[in-house]
Structure 1
């Protein structure tokens, strides 16, 4: 992204009225434990490493849909 990175973006999302409840997943090429901690601390709900397997993405989307329904 030209103007900000994903960490800054999720910070802005979390400041929005419904941003605290909005599920957000990071999709990154970095998968070390320190990277996962960084995304969690930034406000992401999940951390996916590229290339994320389709079944994992489908499972995550299902979880997000269930949470929205409740």
Structure 2
């Protein structure tokens, strides 16, 4: 998932990681997220979701990636 060309294109545009883009997507869809990490740098990245907003087109591109799989 994190090497998907759609996500990496969006990641590069905003200077974010694929995980940050995925978390932002969930936030914009009003999904409550509880990211988990024990690494300080990743914890900081988890907070850096509020300085960008995905466009409607980007949201649709990400939504189109749904293959019906559940990621645990």
Higher-strand-fraction structure: 1
| TM-score, normalising length: structure 2 | 0.36
Pair member with larger Rg: 1
